[in-house]
Amino acid sequence: MKKYIFLSGILLSLYSCDSTTYESLEEPEVITGPVTYNANVKSIINSNCIACHASGGTLAPLETYAEVKDAVLNTDLLDRIQRQNGTPGQMPKGGRMSQDKINTILQWSTDGLLEN
């Protein structure tokens, strides 16, 4: 009998487990009007890209509006941030950004890559 109670407890605990990340707990950012670099994109880039893409490093810098805009227009930045974890060339290397952040960058591109 103890064996069944023990197994029931284990099964119940495994069934109730849920995988949640901190990013999935974040409230999605509601943006009214066009997405701009300074208001919406810069903080995403600073939080997710600057560690590897700083001036003086081996990778192209993404510290300024002009550098990020150039990366969207002339490299595969939009493609690479949308790749799934484990896919070659996926950025950031530390793990995929939340879909909300990716959507903000995509919308910025769609809205015309506005600075302010």
Give domain status of residue 27, yes or no: no
Give domain status of residue 57, yes or no: yes
Range of the domain at 106: 33-110
Give domain status of residue 81, yes or no: yes
67-102: pLDDT as tens digits: 999 999 999 999 999 999 999 999 999 999 999 999
Q: Which residue has the tokens 């506005």?
A: 114
Q: Are 23 and 95 in contact (CB under 8 A)?
A: no
Q: Domain count of the chain?
A: 1
Secondary structure letter of residue 82 according to DSSP: H
Give domain status of residue 63, yes or no: yes
* CA distance linking residue 82 with residue 106, whole number of Å: 10
CA 6 vs CA 3, 13, 15, 17, 18: distances in Å = 5, 11, 14, 17, 21
19-60: pLDDT as tens digits: 445 555 566 667 788 999 999 999 999 999 999 999 998 999
pTM, to two decimals? 0.75
